[in-house]
Amino acid sequence: MADSATIIVDDLTKTFRLKHVHSLKEMASRAVRGRQAEVDEFTALDSIDLRVAEGETLALLGFNGSGKSTLLKCISGVLTPDRGTVGVRGRLAGLIEVGAGFHPDLTGRENVFLNGAILGMTEKQITARFDEIVAFSEIEKFIDTEVKFYSSGMFLRLAFSVAVHTDPEVFLVDEILAVGDEPFQEKCITRIKELRDEGRTLVIVSHQLDMVEKLCRRAVLLEHGRMVADGPTSDVVRQMRGE
Ligand SMILES: Nc1ncnc2c1ncn2[C@@H]1O[C@H](COP(=O)(O)OP(=O)(O)OP(=O)(O)O)[C@@H](O)[C@H]1O
Is the pLDDT at 217 greater than 70, yes or no? Answer: yes
Q: Which domains does the chain have, with CATH numbers?
A: 7-240 (3.40.50.300)
Q: How many CA atoms lie within 13 A of 80 on its CB side?
A: 1
Q: Counting atoms of ligand 1 from 1, which one is nearest the CA of 73?
A: 18
| Cβ 79 under 6 angstroms from ligand 1 | no
pLDDT of residue 225: 96
Of 42, 177, 207, the residue with max ligand 1 atoms within 8 A of its CB, to mutate for a pocket test, comes to: 42
Find out whether the beta carbon of 17 lies less than 6 Å from any atom of ligand 1.
no
- Helices H / strands E in the chain, number of each: 8, 9
Of 13, 176, 149, 154, the residue nearest 85 (C-alpha): 13
Cα–Cα distance, 70 to 225 (Å, whole number) = 9
Which range among 40-44, 67-71, 82-86, 175-179 shows the weakest confidence by mean pLDDT?
Answer: 175-179
Q: How far is CA 133 from CA 81, 94, 162, in A?
A: 33, 16, 6
Question: What are the residues whose beta carbons fall under 8 Å from the beta carbon of 65, sequence distance 6 or more?
Answer: none
Average pLDDT of the chain, as a whole number: 90
Interface predicted TM-score (ipTM) of this complex, two decimals: 0.97
Where is average pLDDT lowest: 47-51, 58-62, 91-95?
91-95
Using CA positions, which residue lies closest to atom 18 of ligand 1? Answer: 67
